[in-house]
Amino acid sequence: MESVQHKHPPYLLIWLYLFLLTAAELGLAFQLPIARNIKLLLLLGLAVWKALLVAMFFMHLKFERWNLRMLLIIPLPLAVILVLAVITEKIW
Amino acid sequence: MTTANTDAMRPPFPAERGVDAYNTKLGMWVFLASEVMFFTALIGSYIILRFGAPGEWARPGVVLNVPVTAFNTFLLICSSVSMVKAYASIADGDQRMLKIWFLVTIICGAAFVGVQGFEYYHLIHRGFLPSGVREGSELAELVAKGTLSEASLGLYGSTFYTMTGFHGFHVTCGVISMIYLYFTKVLPGKYTQQNHGGVEVVGLYWHFVDLVWIILFTIVYLI
Amino acid sequence: MKWWLPAPASTFAGPIDGMFTAILIITGLAFVLVESGLIWFIFKYRARPGQKAYYTHGNVNAEYIWTAVPAVVCVGLAIVSNHYWKQIKGRDSVPAGAYPIKVHAKQFEWLFTYPGPDGKLGTDDDIADVRNKLHVPVGKPVVLQEEAEDVIHSVFIPVFRLRQDAVPGMQIRSWFIATVPGEYDMACSQLCGMGHYKMHAKVTVQSQADFDAWLAKAAQGDIE
Amino acid sequence: MTTVAGTPHVGHAHSDDRSFLRKYIFSTDHKIIGIQFLFVSLFFLFVGGLLAMQIRWQLGFPNQPMPGGKLLPETMAPDGVILPEYYIQLVTMHGTFMVFFAVMPLLVGVYANFLIPLKLGAHDMAFPRINMASFWTALLAGLVMLSSLFVPEGAARAGWTMYAPLSARPDLSGAGLGQQMWCIAIVLLGLSSILGSLNYITTVINMRAPGMTWFRMPLSIWALFITAILGLLALPVLSGAAIMLLFDQTIGTHFFDPAAGGQALLWQHLFWFFGHPEVYILILPAMGMVSDMIANGSRKPIFGYHSMVFAIIGIGFLGWIVWGHHMFVSGMNPTLGSSFMVTTMIIAVPSAIKTFNWMGTMWRGNLRFHVPMMHAVAFVAMFVIGGLSGIFMAATPVDMHIHDTYFIVAHIHYVLFGGSLFGLFGAITFWFPKMFGRMMHQGWGKVHFWLTLLFYNLTFFPMHILGMAGHMRRIYDPTMYDFLKPYQPMNQFISVSAFLLFAVQAIFALNFLVSLFRGAKAPQNPWQDNGLEWTLPNPAPHGNWERVPNVYRGPYEYSHPNATEDYLPQSQKLPGDPEPAAASRASQGREA
């Protein structure tokens, strides 16, 4: 029962982060007049950041052993390979 | 005899263990790995189709109602927090707070589904269909004025409804299973400090659904 | 009935048949090695009273060898394949000045459009939509500009060793040089619906003069 | 914590007061579920074979009334002559049934369910109820698929690969409801496979008996484990694609509709991204079980156990990055084609390692040719042909000529019939006593083996020649083409061989059915095998073990110098064997 022993992560603080990041995304998407490509990268970066916060703290991945983390990491390269390969198709 | 042990929060003994996780938790993680691939098929198709789309993709906010969905995003994030608070409560042995936080999660989740239904209703009313734009609708006028490019609207509708629809389906499944757990396990006080695997496992699923939405919200509504 | 590839009639046939033969020899050797080994073991080591199997968990050196040899052979084949692949299908492989013919595939026929005297497609003097008859001059690079109207079809001319899908929504170019005059079959090799089997065309390879004469006649509507 | 070495745990059968319905129909027992899968998928194997016979009739004897064809309705075969629209349904459904409802459930549904807990020393699967749900979903999927043959416009008509846009447009394919039912059945099957896979993976990771470390697992379990991972990650992609296809057909989306910006090639990419791992789902379990049978038949440890494991893992990984080799001539970017060609060439290497290791296992063995061993050796011999013919297709220029011809058909049948089905015939015979407590008849098994081997090769080998000549797949009437007319005698020869091949399967069916009721009672360990499952009575009781055995060694210790017999069960303690650490880790055993 390891999970009981250690202190709980500051869940409300992470909620605040998520809230602020979402607000930042909205502002970025609709208010900031910057180049589209940069905007796209920033938005994706923010989305990944939020997703990581959820996975690491809410899903406790930060506190799991590496072999359990591997389970969720395995499909990710496959997903990337699929999308990248098919997109190169369109670029030629 | 065989099933008695699966809900307990320890790996089955005596056995060689690959990971330090009890069966239902491990099973849920494995299931989530396959869910990643399912959403890969949907989101990947969206990215690929958008790359090769004829005509300009509709700019964010023109077709979709972003403020409503931003509120919905907020709801889902809140439900994720309340879920993890419910888990933390029972891990500390607090039955009362478990009941409260679990109920908050269910309400937020159900509200999300409701808002999404509302959103769909309005989109269809405005003429936005999975197959594209309905003749003579509000969006058709925008197309006529040149605000929207019609060429890619068919793909826009296809991908939008499929991705958000399947996400909504997952949320609905989550809400239903949480309601079931609420009445069969949470209210009767069957979860304890030592045995609350159900809360953790349904929580994993719920956070995953939240995580998918975080990605979807950005790439569908904001980009 | 021939127990081999069809008679070659394009410049691709040489390398493709050569590779086929080379792979056949390599795989044939592997086949003979494995099957004769199996048969030999089956006889030599069959159970006999009093015989005990040799207790071993393997031999690392032997395993290195039978990992390395197939790996080297396969990588070698990959290099050779890629060499010819680039010549045949590569992005820039179509020779400049290749004679263009548009292939419009639809359920269940082929429509060929030949450029008129100006040698360009998409102009007024095109000889459009010649049904199921592909005529090409011998010894001259020809580039097929394939498009499909409804579903995926596939241009397949066995004697040329040429196969290329025609995909709706895509413009795909595919080229060859015919080497032997004659009349050949062309088929659709991608399941395209109920009439897939009858979607065939006749390919006529003829000298430049004959081809020009045919083209002139075709311009008058006589495609026979 | 001591286990009596090697003593059979007979007489421990639990008092079993479950009702008949709970015990045999809605059972959560992994063994019963495996047997349910066995009967259902053998039925679909028969259906797929029946469809193949009709295909062969049409190809061998085009436009002639088929014997018994008058039984078919007018919409399929008026006066017994097969119609072109029925022919492409036959082609589509033969592939679909064989791949999704016969071979895949036979390998994974039957043997992952049956073997994983028994061979690893678990009481049952990790999630028995999910396991039951998996079976019933699969059955439902199969029934939906089967009934699609009988709806008004008939079954799906776009080939088992279901290439869009033909499959997405009812007006072009001519089948509306049938196409939709195909998609629905595939989504259901995907769900069933995912449920099954997550069960297998969890069980293998978490429920191995003490001492059953990763590298003491039998190769069959390794193969099934990697297969489960492939299924877990590949099937959802297919399900997603099938859902998009279904939406294209029904609610007017445009995923695969080029007229509205959709992409025809997207379907192919998604399908083959699933499809190539699927190919390995169809062969890896057979490879694993054949490894078990060959070691048993050779009375020798498997040659290079570790490299066999790594080869399985390597195939499992590489299987994800070769899908484009199905699309060399599809109009895909040729540079992408080059990279897929290289990965495809590389994936030949682990298969070669496995083949040579099987031969190494037989080398200096003491070969016992019981029926499973015969099938296992035939598996190696036939798989080699299928594997080598794959190299022709991997070479991109050669693929230009043989793509979509009978060369491909020959290749896939050498791998799926010569490979998977020979492996399966062996596996069915091998574990029949464990399932039903009786032996299959060895003599009839040998007759069936030799006749199958003969007619199988006579059927499929000439297809290579047809393919070289350019004989296209999926054509209704080859005599339409001048260049194929000379090959009609060969087509007829193949057809006759195929009919005979189908007919001799009756021997197997009869042997199976008769042995079920009249077979000789099986001894405790009929094949003198090392696996944990043979320490249980035949058939094993519900819950398998009173007390989980301890495992002291790997699965292939045949002819061990210190053993009195030429086999040494995994749970038999020799003097000096240390007790597994996991056995003493916790005191709470899971007693009944």
Condensed to tens digits (0 to 9), the pLDDT of residues C110-122 reads 999 999 888 888 8
**ipTM exceeds 0.85, yes or no:** yes
CB–CB of B49 and D266 under 8 A?
A: yes
**Could you read off the pLDDT of D157-202 as tens digits, one per residue?**
999 999 989 999 989 988 889 999 999 999 999 999 999 999 999 9
Lowest mean pLDDT among C56-65, D20-29, D101-110, D194-203: D20-29
Tell me what the mean pLDDT of segment D313-319 comes to.
93
CB–CB of D465 and C3 under 8 A?
A: yes
What is the per-residue DSSP string for D341-356?
HHHHHHHHHHHHHHHH
The model's confidence at residue B7, banded by pLDDT at 50, 70 and 90, is very low
Please name the residue of chain D whose CA is at the shortest distance from the CA of residue C172.
D331
Q: What percent of chain D has pLDDT over 70?
A: 96
**Residues facing C188 on adjacent strands:** C155
What residues of chain D, 123 to 162, have a C-beta less than 8 Å from chain B? 123-124, 126-130
Q: In Å, how far is B70's CA from the nearest CA of chain A?
A: 8
Residue B78 has pLDDT above 90, yes or no: yes
* D478: Cα within 13 Å, side-chain hemisphere: 27
What residues of chain D, 460 to 499, have a C-beta less than 8 Å from chain C? 465, 468-470, 472-478, 480-483, 486-487, 489-490
pLDDT at position B56: 85
Residue B111 has pLDDT above 60, yes or no: yes
Hey, is the C-beta of C170 within 8 angstroms of any chain D C-beta? yes
CATH 2.60.40.420 spans which residues of chain C? 99-219
Q: At what angle do helices D219-250 and A75-91 cross, to 10 degrees?
A: 50
Tell me what the mean pLDDT of segment D452-469 comes to.
96
pLDDT at position B10: 62
By the 10 Å C-beta count (0-12 exposed, 13-18 middle, 19+ buried), D19 is classed as exposed
pLDDT at position D390: 94
User: What Å distances lie between residue C179 and C14, C206, C210, D56, D241, CA to CA?
Assistant: 11, 9, 15, 36, 44
**Nearest partner of D196 among D141, D242, D146, D240, judged by Cα:** D141
Quote the CA–CA distance of B105 and D237 in Å, as a whole number: 30
Hey, is the C-beta of A38 within 8 angstroms of any chain B C-beta? no
Vertex C41 angle, CA C39 and C44, to 5°: 110
Among candidates A11, A22, A44 on the partner chain, residue whose Cβ is nearest the Cβ of B84: A11
Q: Which two tokens stand for residue D66?
A: 């088929």
pLDDT at position D464: 96
Hey, is the C-beta of C173 within 8 angstroms of any chain D C-beta? no
Residues 6 or more apart from C123 whose CB is under 8 A from it? Answer: C115, C116
**Residues facing C204 on adjacent strands:** C135, C183
pLDDT at position B73: 95
Lowest mean pLDDT among A29-38, B122-131, D334-343: A29-38
The model's confidence at residue B3, banded by pLDDT at 50, 70 and 90, is very low
CB–CB of A90 and B29 under 8 A?
A: no
> What are the structural domain ranges in chain A?
1-59, 65-92
Helix H or strand E segment including B75: helix B66-91
**Nearest partner of D537 among D116, D30, D11, D110, judged by Cα:** D11
Please name the residue of chain A whose CA is at the shortest distance from the CA of residue D230.
A75
CB–CB of A58 and B81 under 8 A?
A: yes
Choose, out of C191, C198, C203, the residue to mutate when testing the contact with D (most D CBs < 10 Å). Answer: C191
Residue B18 lies in a domain: no
Q: What percent of chain B has pLDDT over 70?
A: 94
Residue B4 has pLDDT above 50, yes or no: no
What is the per-residue DSSP string for D437-450?
SBPPPHHHHHHHHH
Residue D110 has pLDDT above 60, yes or no: yes
Quote the CA–CA distance of B221 and D478 in Å, as a whole number: 53
Tell me what the mean pLDDT of segment D114-131 comes to.
94
Residues of C in contact with D298 (CB under 8 A): 45, 53
Please name the residue of chain B whose CA is at the shortest distance from the CA of residue A39.
B223
CATH 1.10.287.90 spans which residues of chain C? 13-89
Tell me what the mean pLDDT of segment C196-215 comes to.
94
Quote the CA–CA distance of C191 and C194 in Å, as a whole number: 8
pLDDT at position B9: 67
CB–CB of D333 and A89 under 8 A?
A: yes
Residues 6 or more apart from D306 whose CB is under 8 A from it? Answer: D215
pLDDT at position D16: 65
Could you tell me the pTM of the whole model? 0.94
Tell me what the mean pLDDT of segment B209-218 comes to.
95
CB–CB of A89 and D335 under 8 A?
A: no
The model's confidence at residue B1, banded by pLDDT at 50, 70 and 90, is very low
Q: In Å, how far is A37's CA from the nearest CA of chain B?
A: 10
Residue A91 has pLDDT above 70, yes or no: no
Residue B65 lies in a domain: yes
Residue B1 lies in a domain: no
Homologous superfamily assigned to C99-219: Cupredoxins -  blue copper proteins (2.60.40.420)
* CATH number of B185's domain: 1.20.120.80
Choose, out of D345, D374, D377, D414, the residue to mutate when testing the contact with C (most C CBs < 10 Å). Answer: D345
Residues 6 or more apart from C111 whose CB is under 8 A from it? Answer: C103, C104, C105, C128, C129, C130, C131
CB–CB of B48 and A71 under 8 A?
A: no
Residue D261 has pLDDT above 90, yes or no: no
Quote the CA–CA distance of D337 and D343 in Å, as a whole number: 10
Residue A3 has pLDDT above 60, yes or no: no
> What are the structural domain ranges in chain D?
30-579
Choose, out of D267, D269, D325, D343, the residue to mutate when testing the contact with A (most A CBs < 10 Å). Answer: D269
Residue B63 lies in a domain: yes
Domain range for residue B74? 24-222
Supply the CATH classification number for the domain C13-89: 1.10.287.90
Residue A9 has pLDDT above 90, yes or no: no
Q: Is the bond leading into D539 cis (omega within 30 degrees of zero)?
A: yes
Quote the CA–CA distance of B160 and B154 in Å, as a whole number: 10
Distance in angstroms between the alpha carbons of the first and the last residue of chain A: 55
Residues of C in contact with D307 (CB under 8 A): 58, 63, 67
For C166, the 3-state DSSP assignment is strand
Please name the residue of chain A whose CA is at the shortest distance from the CA of residue D323.
A82
Query: Quick check: D502 and D452 in contact, CB under 8 A?
Result: no
Hey, is the C-beta of A67 within 8 angstroms of any chain B C-beta? yes
pLDDT at position D8: 39
Pairs of CB atoms within 8 A across A/D: 28
pLDDT at position B13: 59
Q: Which two tokens stand for residue D404?
A: 């979509």
Lowest mean pLDDT among A69-73, B138-142, D51-55, D562-566: A69-73
Helix H or strand E segment including B44: helix B23-51
CB–CB of A89 and D265 under 8 A?
A: yes
**Residues facing C177 on adjacent strands:** C141
Which comes out higher in pLDDT, residue D16 or D458? D458
Residues of B in contact with D552 (CB under 8 A): none
DSSP 8-state code for residue D126: S
Hey, is the C-beta of D360 within 8 angstroms of any chain C C-beta? yes
Alpha helices in B92-196 (DSSP H): 95-125, 138-145, 153-181
Query: Quick check: D444 and D507 in contact, CB under 8 A?
Result: yes
Which comes out higher in pLDDT, residue D580 or C167? C167
Residues of D in contact with B44 (CB under 8 A): 270
Residue A1 has pLDDT above 80, yes or no: no
Query: Quick check: D82 and D90 in contact, CB under 8 A?
Result: yes
Among candidates D198, D243, D592 on the partner chain, residue whose Cβ is nearest the Cβ of B34: D198
**Could you read off the pLDDT of D365-398 as tens digits, one per residue?**
999 999 999 999 999 999 999 999 999 999 999 9
**Residues facing C31 on adjacent strands:** none
Class of domain D30-579: mainly alpha
CB–CB of A86 and D266 under 8 A?
A: yes
Q: Which two tokens stand for residue C47?
A: 């159970």
Tell me what the mean pLDDT of segment D490-512 comes to.
97
**Could you read off the pLDDT of A28-75 as tens digits, one per residue?**
888 878 888 888 999 999 999 999 999 999 998 888 888 888 877 888
Rg (CA), chain B: 21
Quote the CA–CA distance of C80 and C77 in Å, as a whole number: 5
Tell me what the mean pLDDT of segment C35-43 comes to.
96
Quote the CA–CA distance of C28 and B147 in Å, as a whole number: 65
Choose, out of A65, A74, A82, the residue to mutate when testing the contact with D (most D CBs < 10 Å). Answer: A82
Query: Quick check: D503 and D264 in contact, CB under 8 A?
Result: no
Residue B45 lies in a domain: yes
**Counts of helices then strands in chain D (DSSP H, E):** 20, 0
**Nearest partner of A79 among D318, B45, D194, D334, judged by Cα:** B45
Residues 6 or more apart from C197 whose CB is under 8 A from it? Answer: D84, D475, D476, D477, D478, D480
Total number of residues shown for chain A: 92
Mean pLDDT of chain D: 92
Chains that touch A (3 or more CB pairs under 8 A): B, D
**Could you read off the pLDDT of D429-440 as tens digits, one per residue?**
999 999 999 999
Among candidates D127, D204, D262 on the partner chain, residue whose Cβ is nearest the Cβ of B155: D262
